[in-house]
Structure 1
Amino acid sequence: MTERTLVSQLLSREDGPVSVSGWVETVRDQKKVQFVILRDETGAVQLVNPATRPAEDGTDQDAAALALTSAISELATGTFLTVHGELKHDERVKLGGVEIKIGTLDIAAAANPETPIAADSSVDKRMDWRFLDLRQRRNNLIFRVQTTFEHALRTYWIERDYIEVHSPKLMASPSESNAELFSLEYFNDQTAYLAQSPQFFKQMAQVAGFGKIFEIAPAFRADPSFTSRHATEFTSIDAEISWIDSHEDVARMQEELLQTAFQAVKDKHGAEIEELFGVEVRVPAVPFPRIPLAEAREIVKSRGYDIPRTDGDLDPEGERQIAAYVEETYGHQFVFITDYHPEIRAFYHMRDEETGLTKSYDLLFNGVEITTGAQREHRVDVLIEQAKEKGLDPEHLDFYLDFFRFGAPPHGGFGMGLARVLMLLLGESSIREVTYLFRGPTRLAP
């Protein structure tokens, strides 16, 4: 039996016997010739068969040819099959410059003739039938981009001697606060919680002497939001490093990391992204612009928008306004917003002794926040006082505070949402489009 050839390999093969496997995308059943567009995980190819129809005068005909023609006529979109045939290079064929004359056709699994979704189906309908929605070339590319992006992140870190960790997602107590927690029954009448982030455990790695770590893993938020950028389960990209002087060390690492990853995506997928998404991948120059929060609010106000939030932070429209300013002023898609007030930051963010503001930042990409980063407070007595200020009971944080009672280096890190980055990189309107299987307040299947 001829070994399977991927569609992407056909152009480099010589004319002759070939075997391809995939699913039926379209069938054009003409009187004298039949065309099938077969797609696999790497592309699509045209299959052709000279049709043999039953003779009107009852003349005997090739039974095998009649059977093949009949089988092609009955093919439904989505049917998975293998075709053995003859590869022929022909520059007149618009689809890849090659076609395959069908010899034999082996159906692996026939599809129902009526497909439940169409190109114009709503996003919710498409999510109901996600396994069919993902067959599109455009959606296939999303996850190839994701793979390249993650590989570039890992390569950057590993080449710089970072350690990859896998922190637990079942926790005995909240990872950051008592809000947005999923709880579940555990053994011996215990209650467990799904981790909101690996925050405490990546800090533990610094106390353990790991120096530099990263993790790409699930995180969970019991947040009933129905926005385009929130999910109840998402992939979090986290890094933490020791012996830093300030959050600036973290920011410099992250901007280099993103520059590296965007370059990898552009090199491998840039042309196809432009073709299918109409988006040019822009590799960001470093350093990224940095704007203190107070200054950012003034810039937004000068552009005619009054931020309605009372906590001093930017709201989504404020983020879009400051991003527009940065694009106009610096020609940049990214901006670090720095110097947040402690009231709107986690208790473990270190504070500047002179200003009282936190040594932290948010990173905006195309007007959407994708990251929070900071230097952490590593002095246990200060941590306890800052926790109390936030209304947290230090006794409930004992397991975390214990990390710092036996020595800790100055350290900091960031957490970044993978889906948000992909959504913004590809110009999509919702993280649902770039998430393999989305989970939200009303979606637990498929």
Structure 2
Amino acid sequence: MQERVLIKDLAAHEDGPVRVSGWVEKVRDQKFVQFVVLRDETGAVQLVNGGVLREADPENPRSDILLERTGTITELTHGTFITVTGELQHNERVKLGGVEIQIDKIEVVTRALPDNPVADDSGIDVRLDWRFLDLRRPEQNLVFRVQTTFLHALRQVWVERGFIEIQTPKLMASASESRAELFEVEYFEGKAFLAQSPQFFKQMAQAAGFGGIFEVGPAFRADPSFTSRHATEFTSIDAELSWIDSHEDVMELHEELMVAGITAVKEKHGAEIEKLFGIEIEVPSRPFPRIPLAEAKEIVKERGYEVPRADADMDPEGERQIAAYAKEKFGHDFVFLTDYAASIRPFYHMLNEEDPSLTKSYDLIYRGTEISTGAQREHRVEVLEEQAKAKGMDPAELAFYLDFFRYGMPAHGGFGMGLNRVLMLMLHQPSIRETTYLFRGPNRLLP
């Protein structure tokens, strides 16, 4: 059997016999000619049946073949999967890739029902109900090719720097950060919790002597939020590294990763992104702007918006305002907010020696939305215990975690970042529902 050719490779093929397979996207059934737009996982091509025959012709020795082929094409439904062999022809007048295939043989592999549940104007909930159909759209296909390219670029940076990839457990005996937003599950005779982050186990790798580590994996938050940027299950990009002097070392790694990832996306998919999404990918320059949180709140206030609570994190509108400021002043889509108050940071963030009310931590804002939190971690066990107590936590419940620090722990730090948010913002999408393979929220467990 002739080998199948991917549609993206047709332009490089010489004219002649070819075999393609894919989903029927459109049929134009005219009186003397039939056109079929066929799409596979790499693109679309026009198929042409010039031998249309509507009724048997006794004088034509190919009458039966032509009649059957015409009837097969007439009955094709949107989404039907077919295999076609025919003659590839390069034709500059064909808008769809400059090639077309004159059909010789058509085989219906699986037939789609005639009533497609997803229309061009279907809303996000309908599209998520029929996600496998929604993912056939070129825009959605591109999202996940962009994701693949982005992650590959990040992995290249980590591997070149000698980092180790780990996979941490998602079933935990206790909370990884706090007892809020936890999913509790039955676990034999007891109970377990779904991991909110791999934080504790990332730090364990530092005690184990791994040095730089990274993980790309699921995280879970029992957050009853219906915003465009929250999910109950999401993909977290995490990194941790030893032998740092401050959180500035973490920020420099973070910058390197983001520049590498966005550069790779622009180089490989920039033209297609511009065609399908109408946007130009901008590769950020280094260093990214850095603004202490207290100063950022004052800047936002001068722009006419005041964050509701002085002792709180930057809220969504504040993030949008400080991002607008960074774009206006620095021409930058990214901005680090630094020096967060200890009162709004986890117990394991290191305090600033000169001002213990502040932590050596940051949030990274991208195009108006927070995508990551990073920090230098506290590596002295006695200090950790005191900081946990100050947060109302019982060190006894953290015994397994605190043990990591009792046998020699280097100075270290790291970050966690939401992959789906990054893709949403990079591709100017309205919601992470568009950049998550299968979205999970408070009212969605299917498909």
TM range (shorter): over 0.9
Cα distance in 1 between the residues matched to 2:55 and 2:396: 88
Equivalence for 1:183? 184
Counterparts in 2 of 1:411-426, with a 5 A limit?
411-426=412-427
Whole-angstrom CA distance in 1 between matches of 2:28 and 2:238: 49
What displacement does 1:64 show?
A: 1.1
Distance (whole Å) between structure 1 residues aligned to residue 290 and residue 124 of structure 2: 36
Are residues 56 and 9 of structure 1, via their aligned partners in 2, closer, same or farther at CA, if it must alter by over 3 Å?
Answer: closer
Count of residue correspondences:
445
Instruction: String of CA shifts for 1:208-253, please: whole Å, max 9, x gaps.
Output: 0001000000000010000000000000000000010110000011
Alignment of 1:122-271 (within 5 A): 122-187=123-188, 189-271=189-271
Shift of 1:52: 2.9
Listed one character per residue, the Cα deviations across residues 297-337 of structure 1 (whole Å, up to 9, x for unaligned) are 00000001111135332110000000000000000000000
**Take 2:52 and 2:368, find their aligned partners in 1: how far apart are those partners?**
59
Q: How does 1:299-338 map to 2 (within 5 A)?
A: 299-338=299-338
Matched AA of 2:118 = I
Distance 1:242 1:10 in 2: 49
AA at the equivalent of 1:157: W
Deviations 1:87-125 (A, max 9, x none): 111111111111101111111110000100111111011
**CA distance, structure 2, for counterparts of residue 430 and residue 372 of structure 1:** 20
Match of 1:276 in 2: 276
CA contact (8 A) 2:92 2:99 kept: yes
Counterpart AA for 2:398: L
The question of 1:445 aligning with 2:446 is answered yes
**1:349 paired to 2:349:** yes
* Alpha-carbon offset, residue 57 of structure 1: 9.3
Matched-pair contact (CA < 8 Å) for 2:239–2:415: yes
CA distance in 1, matches of 2:3, 2:23: 17
Mapped partners of 2:105, 2:311: distance in 1 = 69
* TM-superposition CA deviations, 1:123-161 (whole Å, max 9, x none): 011000010001011110000000000000000100110
How far 1:51 moved relative to its partner?
Answer: 4.5
Aligned to 1:432: 433
Which consecutive unaligned segments of at least 5 residues does structure 2 have? none
- TM-score normalised by structure 1 residue count: 0.98
CA–CA distance in structure 2, aligned partners of residues 202 and 383 of structure 1: 16
CA–CA separation in structure 1 for the residues paired with 2:9 and 2:58: 43
Instruction: Please report how far the alpha carbon of residue 56 of structure 1 lies from its aligned counterpart in structure 2 after TM superposition.
Output: 9.1
Residue 54 of structure 2 contacts residue 70 of structure 2 at CA under 8 Å; is this kept in 1? no
Tell me, in whole angstroms, the C-alpha distance in 2 between the residues paired with 1:425 and 1:11.
Answer: 29
Instruction: State the secondary structure of the residue aligned to 1:369.
Output: strand
Report the Cα distance in structure 1 between the residues aligned to 2:239 and 2:313, rounded to whole angstroms: 24
CA distance in 2, matches of 1:85, 1:230: 48
- Percent identity over the alignment? 68
* Contact 2:56–2:64, Cα closer than 8 Å, also in 1: no
Aligned-partner Cα distance in 2 for 1:360–1:219: 21
Q: Give the distance between the partners of 1:133 and 1:201, measured in 2 at CA.
A: 36
**Is contact 2:34-2:52 (8 Å) kept?**
no
Answer whether contact 2:232 2:440 (CA < 8 A) is retained.
yes
- The unaligned stretches of length 5 or more in structure 1 are none
Deviation at 1:279, TM superposition (A): 1.2
Distance 2:208 2:142 in 1: 39
Matches within 5 A, 1:286-301: 286-301=286-301
* Residues 15-94 of structure 1 mapped to structure 2, 5 A cutoff: 15-55=15-55, 62-94=63-95
Distance 1:441 1:56 in 2: 59
Whether contact under 8 Å (1:309, 1:315) holds in the other structure is no
The AA in structure 1 aligned to 2:99 is V
The match for 2:381 is 380
Q: CA deviation at 1:50?
A: 1.8
SS of equivalent residue, structure 1 residue 364: strand
Q: CA-to-partner distance for each residue in 1:260-317, whole Å, 9 max, x for gaps?
A: 1111000000111111111111111000000000100000000011111353321100
Q: How far apart, CA to CA, are the structure 2 residues paired with 1:395 and 1:88?
A: 74
State the SS of the aligned residue for 2:226. Answer: coil
Counterpart AA for 1:208: A
- Secondary structure of the residue aligned to 1:416 is strand
SS of 1:299's partner is helix
Read off the aligned partner of 1:273 and give its amino acid letter: I
Normalising by structure 2, what TM-score?
0.98
**Equivalent-residue separation in structure 1 for 2:172 and 2:252 (angstroms):** 31
SS in structure 2 at match of 1:101: strand
Alpha-carbon RMSD across the aligned residues, in angstroms, is: 1.2
Shift >4 Å, 4+ stretches: 55-61
**Does the alignment pair 1:98 with 2:71?**
no
Match of 2:5 in 1: 5
Mapped to 2, the partners of 1:246 and 1:224 lie a distance apart of: 35
Q: Distance in 2 between matches of 1:311 and 1:140?
A: 43
